[in-house]
Amino acid sequence: MNLFEYQGKELLRRFEVPVPEGRVARSPEEARDAARYLGGKVVVKAQVQVGARGKQGGVELVDSPDEAAAATERILDVEFMEQNAFALVQRRSRGAQLTPEDEERISKAAPIKATRVLVERAGDIADEYYCAFLVDRSNRAFLGMMSAQGGMDIEKVAEDDPSAIARVHIDPLLGISDFHARRLVFGARINPDAVKGAVAIIPKLYRAFVEMDASQIEINPLVLTGDGKVVALDAKVTLDDSAAFRHPIFDELKAAHEVPEQERLAKEKGLNFIKLEGNVGIIGNGAGLVMSTLDVVNAAGGEPANFLDVGGGASADILSAGLEVITSNPEVRSVFVNIFGGITRCDLVAEGILDALGRLEVKVPLVVRLDGTNAEQGRKMLADAPHPMLRTANTMLGAAELAVELSRAGI
């Protein structure tokens, strides 16, 4: 789960990481009150999870409560784009010729709107840094990173000048020691005035990272203020959903996130669903097999409408619910059910398919491919219950081709 900035800062505050004083507002009126309470100059920041938020008009610095209200009105109206699409728009505005695929990606990018702003007291910024902790898969350890080039796209910094980023691995069993913080701070060659504050903040960030079961905490920028304090001006925190059982607050944090209707429905039913832009509905078991299914459908000239993994040991109910979620998307022209049973039993899969066909008004063809545990039994159940919308195939590639062909045939 990726937290909004205001949520991330609330968590950091609990670990005594200095963050600017601020209040969340859902309307211009609330923003006016917040600005009045804070007094003086404030910054109004859209609470959205997109890159280049500032460049897209999501951050404004204002002098008065009335201006804060006006800025909030503008910001809540902005249609943000996801970072990749926005990067393409920027390239185009600089005169670059985009490919038809890139143009299509821009036109298909769904607009994202903020429902909240964070109103914060604005301060002088003397210098900006970057600091992060994350789970490093390559080393099976934790990785701390720091750079004097804060406020910039860190992936670009990493590409242009890798030496500008100090890195230190931390053994999860040992935990952080002060030398780790010193290696980051001195390694990043930050302003000497900020050294003491940064060395103090780093162990606090690490504690927040470990104790909150985060998979990543990124502070960009970490700033040195005019009066010599080191403060986290932004916070990108990703929490590990698997640890929700020991953090009651995760549910509360999650409630602030709006998920598209179809994804919410899927989640309720325990399905792993991601909406895509095409018209071939996909259901499979296991993330790897479903990704591979998307690939073969693409290779056959089709466009997947979604990613849907029913997981291991899926029951008939789950299969049936999955079909319901997929066929509720009006774009879908055909559905490819690709199951290789291990822990999942193909007879239960067949039962779920038959249940969905009986229960729902399925208007698009289903192409079903069953292999693995109890496949014979499952195939026989489908053969014994013919349905005009039901087709079967023996191989994954054959099924992909058939599903793509049917998606083109129209209804």
Active site (annotated) includes residue 129: no
- Least distance between other proteins and beta carbon 224 (Å): 27
Distance CA 411, CA 406 (A): 9
Selected from 73, 240, 317, 331, the binder of other proteins by CB under 8 A is 240
DSSP result, 235-299:
-EEEE-GGGGGG-THHHHHHHT----HHHHHHHHTT-EEEE-SSSEEEEESSHHHHHHHHHHHHH
Cα separation, 288 vs 285, in Å, equals 8
Query: From CA 317, how far away is CA 320, in angstroms rounded?
Result: 5
Q: Which of 6, 30, 128, 130 is catalytic?
A: 130
Taking the alpha carbons at both ends of the chain, their separation in whole angstroms is 39
Rounded distance between C-alpha atoms, residue 186 and residue 194, angstroms: 11
- Asked if 249 is part of the footprint of other proteins (rule: CB under 8 A), the reply reads no
Using CB under 8 A as the binding rule, whether residue 294 contacts other proteins is answered as yes
To the query of whether residue 277 is one of the catalytic residues in this protein, the response is: no
Least distance from other proteins to the Cβ atom of residue 238, Å: 10
As measured in angstroms, the least distance from the Cβ of 252 to other proteins is 18
User: Does residue number 304 form part of the binding site for other proteins (CB under 8 A)?
Assistant: yes
Give the shortest CB-82-to-other proteins separation in angstroms: 7
Cβ atoms of residues 60 and 74 within 8 Å: yes
Residues 306-325 interacting with other proteins (rule: CB under 8 A): 307, 309, 312-313
The answer to whether 262 and 326 have CB atoms below 8 angstroms apart is no
Applying the rule CB under 8 A, the residues between 20 and 79 that interact with other proteins are none
> Using the rule CB under 8 A, which residue among 372, 377, 387, 405 binds other proteins?
372
Q: Which of 19, 114, 34 is nearest to 67 (CA)?
A: 34
Catalytic residue among 120, 128, 218, 324: 218
Spatial contact of 260 and 275, defined as CB atoms under 8 Å apart: yes
Q: Please give the residues from 142 up to 181 whose contact with other proteins meets the rule CB under 8 A.
A: 142, 155, 171-173
Tokens of 313: 């040991």
Cβ of residue 401: shortest distance to other proteins, in angstroms? 12
- Residues designated catalytic: 130, 218
Q: Which residues bind other proteins (CB under 8 A)?
A: 82-84, 135, 137-138, 140-142, 155, 171-173, 210, 213, 215, 240-243, 245-246, 272, 274, 276, 284-292, 294-296, 298-299, 304, 307, 309, 312-313, 340-343, 371-373, 395-397
